[in-house]
Structure 1
Amino acid sequence: MGCSSSRIANTSSDTNKTTPTTAPLATWIWNTTFIQDETEVSRFFSFAQEQDLQRAYLHVNADIPNHYFESFIQQCNASGIVVEALMGNPRWILGDGTPSLQSNLEWVRQYQGNASTDTRFTGLHMDIELWALDDWQSNLETYVPAWKDLVNNITSFGESLGMTVAADLPFWTYTIIDPTTGDKMDAWMLNKLDSVTFMTYRNTVDELIDVAEKPLAAGDLAGKPVWLAVETRACTEPKVSFKGLVTVSNLSTKLHSIRGNCSAHASFSGIAVHDYTGWLELG
């Protein structure tokens, strides 16, 4: 996932409105290769403990032997960190993309089947981002129904393995309408999935809270968990990333403020930081 899924909105200044409260933190781990390095794994768990990390979206990588995943996930479970299998490619909607959806699902099936209970993924986490396709806007009548089919297939697969299914969506998903049914895709996705992480990428507290309002309201209505998200990687779009603006400690303060402001929503479940590498590099 990346900052390309954002849109600019008119928002107010960055102020703290309420007393901070606690809520879980999550992060994306795209560079899965580090789980093969004991030093880097130790560094991850030290950082995770410092930040009170409670959820990790761990990218599927069939080139890494199963035993590294087993060891890492076992340590996560022992540390109270839920691990979801992260996968996604916008070209899956076109029937291609490497690795393919089918190869990812087959890898997950064999992994879950061979792993002991304490080394298994808890869920699947989709990051498909069809709006990154050049012809997304001009092909909504084709892409949106196909997107639904894709999600239906993945949720059915997840259910067959007893796994939860979640997805990353832009905060403006409420603007995406299925031309064939009139469905608003934020509501459709929330009703279909176990939870949604909305990419509420803004680099001030107030601006993030502003763009988070509709996703949280939709989550309240659907009765489903909603995760908000912040960006720490470099981004060409303005007002999106915290990179270069904060340290890890500064970001923690802002995350506490976001939690406090959003805790009135029953759907608010936590904040995901994109991504682990970018977060660590804030210094």
Structure 2
Amino acid sequence: MMLTSTGALSVFASSSETKATWLWNPWMFVQDEAGTLAFLESKKVNKVYVQVDRDVPMQSYRSFIEKATAKNMKIYALDGAPDWAANKGDRHLNTMMKWVGDYQKQAPAAAKFSGIHLDVEPYLLSGWKKNQARTVLDFQKLLMNGKQQAAAMNLPMEADLPFWFDEISYNNTYGKGNLAEWAIEKMDGITLMSYRDSAPMLIEIVKQEMAFGQKHSTPITVGVETMKSYEGNQVSFFEEGEAYMNQQLELVKKHYGGNSAFGGFAVHHVDSWKTLKP
């Protein structure tokens, strides 16, 4: 069944539900601020994780955030890389947080970031295979460092997690338990990289995290992929297109809509979403 253009967006109709996306290329709004905002508005996005790029003038961030805020969008400062969870990787986080702190001090209220969003993916480090326990601990330390610095700026702290972290355990100075549950308990919000292209698969792979979210009163945002994937046809909506994606998300919403932890959806990412077939 094909959806009309209005119906295709119905999954994003609730004003209280998160409709998020990652904007990895801030030069996009340096070069075409109006076009970037128009795209986000057309998709009913109300939360954008925007990459911190210190080469982009602060004034460009101020202008974009101020206009996005006027359109009821919350802008979170986004950054992260696997080596942030490596030995001495904290310096990358500290550099980001200093930039955000400096920015917040000089930005008017309407142009301030609404939160911090980390995307670290420590499992891409060689240390994940060589010494997973140490890498997990370093990842936990990084998130706690980030949370402390975010709290000092009165900002919520969020992180991206892969859906399979509920299969990873830890036993270290933070105690012992399930890594997904630990992160869900400690962070103010979690976006799951639950990259599958059908409602039944999405519903299944976020089930444990939704339960943890309920237990710890942490919103869980269901992330989906629109970029071409080389990990199999079941990962991204690249092949099926937007109308099909929205149909599947509507089914996920029907399933989890009554769950207090359900925090809406996040579409990865602006560049690939822009070129996703209808």
How high is the TM-score relative to the length of structure 2? 0.89
User: In the aligned structure 1, how far is the partner of 2:85 from the partner of 2:40?
Assistant: 34
Q: Which residue of 2 aligns with 1:142?
A: 134
- Give the equivalent residue in structure 2 for 1:241: 236
Does 1:118 pair with 2:113?
Answer: no
8 Å CA contact retained: 2:191, 2:223: yes
Residues in 1 aligned to 2:176 and 2:89: alpha-carbon distance in whole angstroms: 29
Q: Would the aligned equivalents of 1:169 and 1:197 in 2 still touch at CA under 8 Å?
A: yes
Which of 9, 14, 25 matches 2:19? 25
Q: Does structure 2 retain, via aligned residues, the 8 Å contact 1:140–1:178?
A: no
Instruction: Point out the more displaced range, 88-97 or 230-239.
Output: 88-97
Alignment partner, residue 223 of structure 1: 217
Choose which of 48, 58, 62 in structure 1 pairs with 2:40: 48
Query: More displaced, 211-220 or 248-257?
Result: 248-257
Cα-to-partner distance string for 1:104-124 (whole Å, 9 max, x where unaligned): 111111111111111010100
Task: Specify which of 45, 48, 54 is matched with residue 62 of structure 1.
Answer: 54
Matching residue of 1:251: 245
Deviation at 1:96, TM superposition (A): 5.7
2:190 corresponding residue in structure 1: 196
User: Is residue 24–residue 52 contact of structure 1 (8 Å, CA) maintained in 2?
Assistant: no
Asked whether the equivalents of residues 127 and 135 of structure 2 are also in contact (C-alpha less than 8 Å), the reply is: no
Give the partner amino acid of 1:277: D
**C-alpha deviation, 1:260, in angstroms:** 1.6
Q: Give the Cα–Cα distance (whole angstroms) in 2 for the partners of residues 99 and 254 of structure 1.
A: 40
Contact 2:181–2:209 at 8 Å: present in 1 too? no
Mind listing any 5+ residue stretches in structure 2 that lack a counterpart? 1-9
CA drift of 1:34 comes to 1.0
Deviations 1:204-237 (A, max 9, x none): 1211111111111111111111101100111111
SS at match of 1:198: strand
Report the CA distance between 1:249 and its aligned residue: 3.5
Q: SS in structure 1 opposite 2:170?
A: coil
> 2:258 is paired with a residue of what secondary structure?
coil
Secondary structure of 1:106's aligned partner: helix
The amino acid that maps onto 1:243 is F
| Post-superposition offset of 1:97 | 6.4
SS in 2 for 1:178: strand
TM-score, normalising length: structure 1: 0.87
Contact (CA 8 Å) 2:51, 2:78: kept in 1 or not? yes
Shift of 1:101: 2.1
| Range 126-135 or range 96-105, more displaced | 96-105
Q: Deviations over 1:149-180 (max 9, x none)?
A: 11111100000001110000011111111132
Match for 1:245: what amino acid?
A: E
Q: Deviations over 1:2-54 (max 9, x none)?
A: xxxxxxxxxxxxxxxxx9674331000001111112xx322222222222111
- Could you tell me which amino acid in structure 2 is paired with residue 234 of structure 1? K
On the 8 A contact 1:62/1:107 being kept in 2, the answer is: yes
Using CA pairs under 8 Å that are at least 6 residues apart, name the structure with larger relative contact order, 1 or 2: 1
What corresponds to 1:77 in structure 2? 69
Candidates 248, 265, 277, aligned match of 2:271 = 277
Q: Tell me the alpha carbon deviations over residues 88-141 of structure 1, each in whole angstroms, 9 at most, x when there is no partner.
A: 011122246699222211111111111111101010001011011123033122
Report which stretch shifted further, 101-110 or 165-174.
101-110
Residue range with higher mean Cα deviation, 95-104 or 272-281: 95-104
